[in-house]
Chains A and B, each alone.
Chain A
Amino acid sequence: EAQVTQNPRYLITVTGKKLTVTCSQNMNHEYMSWYRQDPGLGLRQIYYSMNVEVTDKGDVPEGYKVSRKEKRNFPLILESPSPNQTSLYFCASSPRGLGYGYTFGSGTRLTVV
């Protein structure tokens, strides 16, 4: 089944403890992206990648890192999480050319205490 898989689905962590949220797609998509969703703010793009070894900042990149060493994987790294990063995170992928629209993962609900 064609899908975007995120792990974990739920995560509670403490301030300052490094964490990684994994994202993997099995559709051979070139484009991958991370969004965070917060009440009243909608979805905001954190980082995106147009292909392997190519990443770029979205609208809210502060406090996050990403890497794209393989086409299928696009992990989101929080080096030193803070409570304002408590949010619902979505990974998404698309074939080359965003006109196809995204396939989204099921989301990761992160709580930083």
Chain B
Amino acid sequence: AQSVTQPDIHITVSEGASLELRCNYSYGATPYLFWYVQSPGQGLQLLLKYFSGDTLVQGIKGFEAEFKRSQSSFNLRKPSVHWSDAAEYFCAVNRDDKIIFGKGTRLHILP
């Protein structure tokens, strides 16, 4: 079955430290890939997306993600996190007529 896996339910990092959130997908071909962020009490906001071409994509709020076909991964990174980055992050893939979301990774920031 098609699926999106975010292996880490919770991640805690110190403010100013680097961040990497993992995402793996299982599809026969390269789908469209997305990362969304959900701040407490809010809807989801699109951070970045990958269709094709350059495997390193830049998004909003200083985030980037790298697509690795050989690993079926699309990991989200940020060089230096800020307290305002505390939120839940969702990886998603689009195949056919559906967007399927991972179960999310909640990011906690230590001061």
Q: Spot the interface stretch: A61-69, A71-79, A96-104.
A: A96-104
* Bound complex: CA A90 to CA B44 (Å): 9
Known: A106-B42, A106-B43. 8 other contacts (CB 8 A): A33-B99, A43-B90, A45-B100, A98-B98, A99-B94, A100-B49, A102-B36, A103-B46
Question: Is B32 in contact with chain A by the CB < 8 A criterion?
Answer: yes
- Sample (15) of A-B pairs whose CB atoms are under 8 Å apart: A40-B103, A41-B103, A43-B44, A43-B90, A45-B98, A45-B99, A48-B98, A90-B43, A92-B44, A98-B32, A98-B94, A98-B97, A103-B46, A105-B43, A107-B42
B residues neighboring A (CB under 8 Å): 32, 34, 36, 41-46, 49, 51, 90, 94, 97-104
A-B interface contact total, Cβ < 8 Å = 53
Q: For window 41-94 of chain A, which residues contact chain B by CB distance below 8 Å? A: 41-43, 45, 48, 50, 56, 58, 90, 92
Q: In the complex, which range does the number of interface residues on chain A fall in? A: 20 to 34
Closest to A101 in B: B46
Closest to B95 in A: A98
A residues neighboring B (CB under 8 Å): 4, 33, 35, 40-43, 45, 48, 50, 56, 58, 90, 92, 98-107
Residues of A within 8 A of B98 (CB): 45, 48, 58, 98
* Bound complex: CA A91 to CA B22 (Å): 26
* Bound complex: CA A106 to CA B39 (Å): 11
